[in-house]
Amino acid sequence: MAAGSPQSGVGRVIAGRYRLLDRLGSGAMGQVWRAHDQRLACDVALKEVAFLDQVEATDERTARVARARAEARHAAGLRGHPHVVTVHDVLEHEGLPWIVMEYVPGALDLRERVHRHGPLDPVECARIGLAVLDALTAGHERGVMHRDVKPANILLAPDRSGTPYARVLLTDYGIAVQPDAGETRHTMASALIGTPGYLAPERATGGPPTATADLFSLGCTLYFSVEGCGPFERDTQLAAVTAVVLEDPRPPQQAGALAPLLTAMLVKDPAQRITAHDTAAALTAVVTPQPHPRTRVDLAPTAGGAPTGWARPGPGTASTAPTTSYSQGGPAGGFGAGFGPPLRRREPHPRRAHAVRALVACLLGLALALGGVWYAVHRAASGGTAAPYGKSVALSRPLKEGDCVVAAWPGQPFQGPPPRLKLDPSCHDESPDGQVMALVTGASADEARRRGPALCEERTRDIRGKLADVRSYAVVPTAAGFAATGRRTACLVLGAHGPVYGPLGDRRKPGMTFVDTANMQKQDCLDVLSRSAAQLVSCAGPHDQQVLGFTRLAPDMTLATAKTVSDQACARDVPPKDHGYDPNIYTAASWTGNAAWVSSRTHLVVCTVQRENGGTMGKDEP
């Protein structure tokens, strides 16, 4: 195995008890491993303190060891909190501390989730924010400031029912501190404590750690989650810190109802910043919006004295009634419309009233009969329902696996309410926005509505993990269309910021020429046709390049500049040696697509590997 491989420590036994199985991640303090506790026969996570070189080991050993012990102490104080990773123990092995923590199966940190699947919608972002705020508040009540709230320190994992990302866990109390406890602040020499771009301005200028500083960092984290980049993201760490102190955050474009809250959380003056209590209230309002008050029609009492009439539910109010639109009332001021006192009504003559009622009843009966005939004919002609997924989606037939769709959003593209969909039968001609990758069956329409999105997240996870900028989208049938769809929810993989420009996954055929980079995926093998064209080929045969992953270039970088620096960016961020390729034989290459700069503005680059001498690769490559 190549030097520097993530698996190089597998098999080591720590403290005679914990056998390392695989590496989960790494950071400034060292590495985190999944390990097997041979005494209790269960898996745990072990954080290993590591040093880059002997000089660092000499200069920083004492501080790092103390910080590891402090992390264990702070996190252990929050043991049992539902949104904090549990710390079980801290031990020493070969002179260095290891922290024994809860292993969270299937966990993905928030930063990686956004990078893999694109920004979150505001409601999901607010749900995660509430959980993290709850964890932070629990620490603040004990006097513990986290000091490094950022997307990489928030884990998302399935819950007991298997719903993806349902659990939200705050981790890494490595630089947490209790300001009033008199404890030593263990810092690394010449290092800023915290993460540039997520550090509160008062902390960047030397101020003390406070609860409101953690709140600013949470605001930066939520901004990243919903926008796909940090509010102060810059090319260098120094530029990011400078932006935090001196510049306003970029105005959010996709935050929707979260936008005012993000602005309030990112106020530079901590005295003017929103409080944790008000932040929790604002997040709750996004997760569970309050319905508008119902309007009651002001009709005369019946013989029994009770008012008659009905009121239409306001936006956000759950209803099982058909989605037909109703209206009541007359000119402004009538029927209790709220524009003044109700109009006085003249009592009709009894015989005339009886005749009117009879006529209305006859007309209503005729309308219902004719409507029933139309509905039966139309339902039969359409295979059960004219719009199995509802009027907003507007498809006239159920979706099937492999269907490509073009989406038209009612507002900002790739944001907001469900889009109107239409089929692209060729999966090419109309630059499809997504494709149906799976169908999940539900026992009832209500179950499909409740569980369909989570099941689709699970069923599309593998393919989404191979693509740079997509998300899962569940097309759930209505109650009326549930039977017509075969009781199935369609699981789309949809571009997160722009079209996917063609088929996805194994729906693509060898020999297909890519029209953009959006549907290139990890492990794809490519033949290079020209400087601007590549063809998908089988990895079992000869090929020129293989896709290893993706990286993101600076938001203000032009496409022309990107094409000149993308190879170097891939060599830095997705080095072929980390995938087992000998750096003496192989080198990094890249592909940049117009859509990543023009339509989606993600500035994502596809990173590949090729032979240094430009020779052909084969099936025996690493």
Contacts of 349 (CB under 8 A, 6+ apart): none
| Spatial separation of the C-alpha atoms in residues 75 and 486, rounded to whole Å | 49
Report the amino acid identity of residue 308: T
Burial label, 419 (beta-carbon count in 10 A; 0-12, 13-18, 19+): buried
CB 500 within 8 A of CB 517: no
Length of the chain in terms of residues written:
622
The annotated binding site for ATP is made up of 47
CB 201 within 8 A of CB 232: no
Q: Terminus-to-terminus CA distance in the chain, angstroms? A: 10
CB 214 within 8 A of CB 149: yes
Catalytic residues: 148
Burial label, 443 (beta-carbon count in 10 A; 0-12, 13-18, 19+): exposed
Residue 33 bridge partners (DSSP): 23, 46
Report the amino acid identity of residue 4: G
Nearest alpha carbon to residue 29 among 8, 4, 5, 48: 48
Report the amino acid identity of residue 12: R
Contacts of 298 (CB under 8 A, 6+ apart): 307, 309, 335, 336, 342
Contacts of 111 (CB under 8 A, 6+ apart): 150, 151, 152, 224
| Spatial separation of the C-alpha atoms in residues 470 and 454, rounded to whole Å | 16
323: tokens are 């989605």
Token pair 């989605």 in the structure block, residue: 323
Report the amino acid identity of residue 443: A
- Distances in Å between the Cα of 171 and the Cα atoms of 40, 91, 151, 208, 280 are 23, 19, 10, 21, 20
Residue 463: CB atoms within 10 A of its CB come to: 20
- Distances in Å between the Cα of 563 and the Cα atoms of 152, 236, 455, 544 are 29, 20, 39, 19
CB 552 within 8 A of CB 469: no
| Spatial separation of the C-alpha atoms in residues 205 and 214, rounded to whole Å | 15
11: tokens are 């098999």
Residue 93 bridge partners (DSSP): 96
